Structure 1
């Protein structure tokens, strides 16, 4: 059955298993050497009670140290334990030289427990005892009694230091794995936060777009419908009432179409089948028909392709400006100019209405401000998103001139509508 354990924990568990196997092997070697020493000592005529007592004391002290090492990592306590074990071994060697076999686990433990300089000192002391034991007990020795312990001691200390390096590497590896896992979790949290921020930013941008489009289209249509309805109620002329109702129906249909396209995030209805100049011409024609204001359009015939974003921005600007002319200006004439200004396209809308204090609006309604009318602020914000801007000139009783400009480099490719199928 496949393992469901996280992949980053599997190496750590394998490493812990390896370390545990080494410790078990060390304990097995110690017990085997203790048994060999005890049997040889008994065979040499050492009283069995002495052999058993020394063996059990050594084994008990050794086992207690193993249990203690599993509960604490205090190096000083482990050092004192090893020194006690060494004293017990000295007593056993004083009884029988056969117990010198236990020098090998002492050398291993010295390398494990002590710092390098103290481990070397203890190992040298143990080696001296091993070399002197045959002389003290039998009065003779051999090359094997010298070379064997020297090689065994060097080998044991080397193994123990290598084991410690492996342990350190394992700890460092576990630390690095834990750090990597924590970093991955932090990155995942940051990605979730970034995604949430992007969603919130996208939602905010979409709300701004919808509010602008509603203000520039549906709200203006509803405002015009209200004005036409009031004029129809105030007149007794049946023909004028019929004409107003017809215009209300047309505005309602236009507002409904705009509302559907706002929801679908499609282009304005006026741009679906014609260029910007034609859409502006129809808007002015309807304005003149509904209000009696003389409306004139001047559009360059050789205007370059603007792109959908620019056309939408300029069209919405014209819609909002003409709605202000209809509702507030009390104008008799409005002139709209769409011209190529070289590196930009300009849309100028000039009326001869009552005007307003443009300096006060510009001071209060600039970028980042909450002052000024929403329509003018919305126009300026929309144009700034494309790298353009809006200039307003007006004074009380002196009409209003709006000039919108958008750089041509900001134009996006015009989206094709319809097609050959």
Structure 2
């Protein structure tokens, strides 16, 4: 899965807020310049202007270049004092009040901006009345005050919206980064689970094929070491060679994750060959029964049943001390069954179920059989009584609608 970083698009609120801030700065400079020009034109004393105008510009620049924090109200008070000084020098500076009204909502908030705006309006009206009483001296500034405060409030709302949107985008980017990390963790976990499953499968295959083959070779070689008859010794050596060759083929199949070499001739024939070799090597009386109506199985199912048979017969050889062993492959309704029965010494099934056999080095093969069958939706049933043989029944569900004779 490919993920891309969030690319936030410019928001109209953020652009409008920046535009209003730039316009507010420009308006202050223009109104201050107009007031200064008109004051000089009307003959206002130059020395006070030469001091107050630069000081006012410097104070405004400090607030314009620095973000408004807790010191913002004090900065506005200082700027208002500078404006008041200019207003005392010349009433032409009443125009600057419009910029103060724009600023007050942003700096003080609407609650404190309203009384501040009224105070500035009172100062403007008082300055206007000193040069002549006229209704416009009150109505004009009042309208300007309402308009400026309204614009300032709108700008504050736009700024707040832009800030909230930026916070939302930041959270979205953070969440996306967490999702990407979670996706990577999930992919890594899935890879590890797949690797673990494959290792488990290979360990079962190795136990059911190579390990059992090596066990046969070991038993045959021990028998050969004690054999004095040259003919019997040659027979044992031939069996060792055949088992080693088969192990070699199985090892190649395991490495390449291919179908077991025995299944080249079909499941039923492979079971017959396993029993024939067991009888030849151990002298056991073996018997195979195959139901002619057994469903055609998939390769995976045939592999599972073959591995179960290999492991079960290896247990009979190594532990059962049996005289006879029988294998049956039958169709039982919607399942296929593989049964392995022997008349050997048996074992304690309860101890195996509780895991106590593992301490003595046994039990892994039975657990591997059970896990292999469970992976395919099947199961394993074991019945045994010490001294009275063992019955092992493996079953798998039939997944395909077609049935026929197992080759």
Q: Which moved more, 1:243-252 or 1:19-28?
A: 19-28
Q: CA deviation at 1:18?
A: 6.9
Q: CA deviation at 1:221?
A: 0.9
8 Å CA contact 2:13–2:161 kept in 1: the answer is no
- TM-score, scaled relative to structure 2: 0.89
Matched with 1:260 is 252
Q: CA deviation at 1:334?
A: 0.7
Q: Indicate how the Cα distance of structure 1 residues 286 and 257 shifts in structure 2: closer, same or farther if over 3 A, else same.
A: same
* CA offsets 1:309-328 (integer angstroms, 9 cap, x no match): 22222111110111111222
Q: Can you give the 5+ residue segments of structure 2 that lack an aligned partner in the other structure? A: none
Equivalents in 2 of 1:369, 1:209: separation in Å? 22
Matched, 1:314 2:305: yes
After TM superposition, which residue ranges in structure 1, 4 or more long, deviate above 3 angstroms?
Answer: 6-12, 14-25, 145-148, 368-372, 411-414
| Counterpart pick for 1:81 among 70, 75, 82 | 75
Q: Indicate how the Cα distance of structure 1 residues 48 and 412 shifts in structure 2: closer, same or farther if over 3 A, else same.
A: farther
Larger RCO (alpha carbons 8 Å, 6+ apart): 2
| Counterpart pick for 1:118 among 107, 112, 124 | 112
Matched with 2:177 is 185
Matched with 2:397 is 407
Q: Indicate how the Cα distance of structure 1 residues 412 and 311 shifts in structure 2: closer, same or farther if over 3 A, else same.
A: farther
- TM-score, scaled relative to structure 1: 0.86
8 Å CA contact 1:303–1:340 kept in 2: the answer is yes
Question: Alignment partner of 1:405: what SS?
Answer: strand
Matched, 1:52 2:42: no
Matched with 1:174 is 166
Q: CA deviation at 1:21?
A: 5.4
Question: Alignment partner of 1:46: what SS?
Answer: coil
| Mapping of residues 276-287 of structure 1, within 5 Å | 276-287=267-278
| Counterpart pick for 2:132 among 139, 143, 163 | 139
| Mapping of residues 3-402 of structure 1, within 5 Å | 8=7, 11=10, 22-67=20-65, 69-70=66-67, 73-74=69-70, 77-136=71-130, 138-141=131-134, 143=136, 145-274=137-266, 276-364=267-355, 373-402=363-392
Q: CA deviation at 1:58?
A: 2.3
Q: Indicate how the Cα distance of structure 1 residues 369 and 57 shifts in structure 2: closer, same or farther if over 3 A, else same.
A: farther
Equivalents in 1 of 2:246, 2:334: separation in Å? 34
Equivalences, count:
399
Equivalents in 1 of 2:359, 2:196: separation in Å? 18
8 Å CA contact 2:101–2:117 kept in 1: the answer is yes
Equivalents in 1 of 2:185, 2:360: separation in Å? 30
Question: Alignment partner of 1:393: what SS?
Answer: strand
Q: CA deviation at 1:195?
A: 1.6
Equivalents in 1 of 2:351, 2:221: separation in Å? 33
Equivalents in 2 of 1:307, 1:338: separation in Å? 15
Cα-Cα RMSD: 2.8
Equivalents in 2 of 1:290, 1:330: separation in Å? 14
Equivalents in 2 of 1:9, 1:185: separation in Å? 15
Q: Indicate how the Cα distance of structure 1 residues 404 and 52 shifts in structure 2: closer, same or farther if over 3 A, else same.
A: same
Q: Which moved more, 1:290-299 or 1:127-136?
A: 127-136
* CA offsets 1:174-202 (integer angstroms, 9 cap, x no match): 21121111111111111121122112211
Equivalents in 2 of 1:154, 1:84: separation in Å? 23
8 Å CA contact 2:208–2:311 kept in 1: the answer is yes
Q: CA deviation at 1:19?
A: 5.3
Equivalents in 2 of 1:223, 1:413: separation in Å? 39
